[in-house]
Chains A and B, each alone.
Chain A
Amino acid sequence: MNTSITNKRNKIHAQKFALWAAMASISMMFAAFLSAYIVKQASGNWLEFSMPITFFVSTILVLLVSLSLHVTKGYLRNSSAKYYKAGVVISLILAILFIISQYVSWNTLVERGVDLKGNVSGSFLYLITGIHVLHVLGGIVALMISAVYAFFFPFDNSAGKSQKFDLVVNYWHFVDGLWIVLFLFLMFYK
């Protein structure tokens, strides 16, 4: 055998890497929205409004989702099937509450006279939070699939299955972090 082969391949998990690539791609899309926001705001005719309180609730909810999923991941690793199932369900409920809090916030804004068709600052808010919610819905679908596996299939924390759940958790951390960035931006960028 030849001995000159010293360069070992870097083993990054292929699916995990693909998820990172997808995150980069999604980030670029939101970066484009935010730059459009900055440019548009600089050109004037920009309505200022305060954020509804329910957006703060959303922020707490995403932090809880991330925390809950992180803990749940630990239960999966430690083979605590019962806690794992509970964790998945709690995360799912928190995630759905997030969507509801977003919906309530939109309604509050409309009541205050900030609607989609009015000033472009409002349009941007609905656009950015709306597209973000679409990404959260994607995460909810993934979490529902995890729930189906948790409840209707035998408990399995083999490397393959754990890694799949890891992907779901990582995606959720991403959309949660994204929300915090977006929220801080919308609130403080003046």
Chain B
Amino acid sequence: MANITVHEDDVLIKDQGFDDHFHEHHHGDKYQTNFIFHYIFSMDHKIIARQFLITGMIWAIIGAAMSVIFRMQLGFPEESLTWIKPLLGKWIEVDPTTGIGKLVPEFYYALVTMHGTIIVFFVLTAGLSGTFSNLLIPLQLGARDMASPFLNMLSYWFFFLAGIIMFYSLFLSTGPFSGGWVAYPPLSALPQASSGSGTGMTLWLVSLTLFVVSVLLGGINYITTVLNLRTKGMTLWRMPLTIWAFFVTAILGLLSFPVLASGFFMLIFDRSLGTSFFLSEIFIEGQALDRVGGSPILFQHLFWFLGHPEVYIIILPAMGLVSEVLSVHARKPIFGYRAMVYSIMAIGFLSFIVWAHHMFMSGVNPFLSNFFVVFTLIIAVPSAVKVFNWITTLYGGNLRLNTPMLFAIGFVSMFISGGLTGIFLGNSAIDIQLHDTYFVVAHFHIVMGVAAFFGMFAGVYHWYPKMYGRFMNETLGKIHFWGTMISAYAIFWPMHYLGMAGVPRRYFSFESFDAFRHFTDMNKFITVFAIIAFAVQLVFVINFFYSIWYGKKMKSKNPWGATTLEWTTPIEPIHGNWPGNLPVVHRWPYDFSKDEREFVQQHVPLREGEVGDH
């Protein structure tokens, strides 16, 4: 039997599909009628996915541009920044005699804080999980839409509102919040602590509280959809790894974000109502504050109870996307499907009991730290299982080295490099030296920043035809990949050396430290590559928007030869995803190179004696 052609494919679903009487009611009409309800207040999961993606991209550009500005300060502190004065206004102070413009130190902190907040929450949580959970959960499970399209729409609009408020805070005369993305008190709890701690922090809190609501609405929906709206035959053990990853991610979000909300509520009480949950014995300008008995460490516990699962909320979806992309483009079944699923679950579970490894140096009991060291190091086990399985999937595969595949392989590379340094940092003893140095910056940027971006890029390039019916340009894609890959390592590799030498992070300038003087050239090197990395991302943005209108058209339904259900939907997306019946699933999602067939889609019935599960 040859590969299933488009035509046979339709017939199969028509004849053997599952009729849920969806198209007998005309509830689809209200989505399609006018521009506002089709593109703006849409309840269709495919449109919402694109809204998340494009909003995330806008935030990514803002967040990355900020990093370029503070990298300029770190790499070239002598150079004049007068040329960005039109953009930053009073945050560039120009010396009237020499004409040299300098970044105001307070704004440097604001930039670092906003860079972290924006990239972690708005780009890698909403932009990554929001986009692909929305796009793929219904499509890969054979559902008409999310369990509650309305909540889904609200999820996006809460995110949008959070974004608007955060964006507004960038333009305050006192500046946005500048006490670090972790918002530790007292900098976050006392409005008088720094210029950004006033209105800037208030807006930060409001924005992120709305963001928590968005994540919860989204998460409830994703979990409900996965458990309730799978098509016939789609057992849990036949779900693609993408769905498993989104599912566990949503559970993590649902259980950890409320804890962050608790911390925020207490912070709001401390700021506005005069309580002292986190404030204690503080003197301001010689005057003792009237707050007694609070503990700033308490906030750190609440924050990191979210904060640690949050890094897995970021990386798990990327892992899911990469597993799928690697398998499809290596033309091989994913190696160790069940082991992959159990690893996702193990990582999800462990992520809740390691939070204090962010606090080894905060004065927590060293004896207690030991437990967190052990659990932290145990995470290396499921992570290593996943890495092993990805590499084994590649081994002996019939690799197509196109852009999504390159990014997926790049992800594995980044995850290994960044994961290994995690083993150093997870040890409380080594952390005494490395804590709050550039080693930490290098570690988390590689393992959850760059790696998650790579997963996201792999996903965007791979599912772009599903989203827009066209392909992105391959040449520009490869330029994007190699530019990003090389500059990402060039930026973060040297930072390990800085960190081991003890160079602290978050410092505005190192000019007065003799010990770090010989790193001047290394900092220049890093900054140059940061600028290159940013420029290369613009290639991606141009490619993305150009291809929406002028990209190569998708001619067949399943251009990659993938097995999952999203590639059985029509090229022109419709409301309800499938025109007639829903496909019925007969097998697991990784039937590549099976018998004499190159690939077998999930809705193709089993032959005599064939096994559907693995």
Contacts and interface: CB of A to CB of B under 8 A. Distances in A.
Contacts of A39: 295, 298, 301
A21 B254 contact: yes
Contact of A36 (B216, B261, B262): B262
A110 interface: no
A5 B224 contact: no
A17 B151 CA distance: 14
A9 B232 contact: yes
A78 interface: no
Interface in A22-57: 22, 24-26, 28-33, 35-36, 39-40, 43, 45
Given A116-B273, A117-B274, A4 B258 contact: no
B361 interface: no
Nearest to B254: A25
DSSP majority for the A interface? Answer: helix
A40 to B, nearest CB: 6
Given A5-B584, A39-B301, A120-B294, A28 B148 contact: no
A119 B261 CA distance: 22
A179 to B, nearest CB: 17
Contact of B266 (A1, A36, A43, A117): A36
Contacts of A35: 301
A13 to B, nearest CB: 8
B228 interface: yes
Given A4-B586, A32-B259, A39-B298, A22 B292 contact: no
Given A2-B584, A24-B255, A25-B255, A116 B274 contact: yes
B233 interface: yes
A167 B492 CA distance: 51
A18 interface: yes
Given A32-B263, A120-B275, A43 B216 contact: no
A39 B425 CA distance: 26
Contacts of B104: none
B16 interface: yes
B584 A40 contact: no
B221 interface: yes
B235 interface: yes
A159 interface: no
B223 interface: yes
A127 interface: yes
A158 interface: no
A24 B216 CA distance: 11
Nearest to A7: B235
Contacts of B233: 5, 7
B227 interface: yes
Given A24-B254, A117-B275, A36 B292 contact: no
Interface size class of B (residues with CB under 8 A): 35 or more
B586 A21 contact: no
Nearest to B270: A123
Interface string B214-246: 001001110111011110110100000000000
Nearest to A26: B258
Interface in B250-267: 254-259, 261-263, 265-266
B293 interface: yes
Given A28-B259, A40-B295, A4 B273 contact: no
A21 B221 CA distance: 9
A25 B302 contact: no
Interface in A117-137: 117, 119-120, 123-124, 127, 131
Nearest to B274: A117
Contact of B277 (A14, A25, A32, A123): A123
B605 interface: yes
User: Most chain-B CB neighbours within 10 Å: which of A21, A22, A31, A45?
Assistant: A21
B281 to A, nearest CB: 11
A39 B261 CA distance: 18
B305 interface: yes
A109 B535 CA distance: 61
Given A24-B254, A24-B255, A32-B302, A43 B147 contact: no
A45 B223 contact: no
B276 interface: yes
A162 interface: no
Nearest to A30: B262
Nearest to A8: B232
B519 interface: no
Nearest to B258: A29
A40 B229 CA distance: 44
Contacts of B232: 5, 9
B224 A21 contact: yes
B538 interface: no
Interface in A127-183: 127, 131
A2 B16 contact: yes
Contact of B606 (A4, A24, A30, A33): A4
Contacts of B191: none
A119 B293 contact: yes
A18 B150 CA distance: 13
Given A32-B263, A120-B277, A15 B235 contact: no
A184 B295 CA distance: 25
Given A2-B584, A5-B586, A21 B220 contact: yes
Contacts of A28: 254-256, 258-259
B504 interface: no
B269 interface: yes
Contacts of B301: 35-36, 39
Contacts of A21: 219-220, 223-224, 254
B266 A127 contact: yes
B580 interface: no
Contacts of B256: 28
28 contacts: A2-B605, A4-B606, A5-B233, A5-B584, A5-B586, A10-B228, A11-B228, A12-B228, A14-B147, A15-B147, A17-B228, A18-B220, A21-B223, A21-B224, A22-B220, A24-B254, A28-B258, A29-B258, A30-B262, A32-B259, A40-B277, A43-B295, A45-B292, A116-B273, A117-B276, A127-B265, A127-B277, A131-B265
Interface of B: 16, 147-148, 151, 216, 219-221, 223-225, 227-230, 232-233, 235, 254-259, 261-263, 265-266, 269, 273-277, 292-295, 298, 301-302, 305, 584, 586, 605-606, 612
Given A4-B612, A17-B223, A28-B259, 8 more contacts: A2-B584, A2-B586, A2-B605, A18-B147, A21-B219, A29-B262, A116-B275, A117-B274
The 8 closest A-B pairs by CB, nearest first: A29-B258, A32-B262, A123-B275, A32-B259, A117-B274, A28-B258, A45-B293, A14-B147
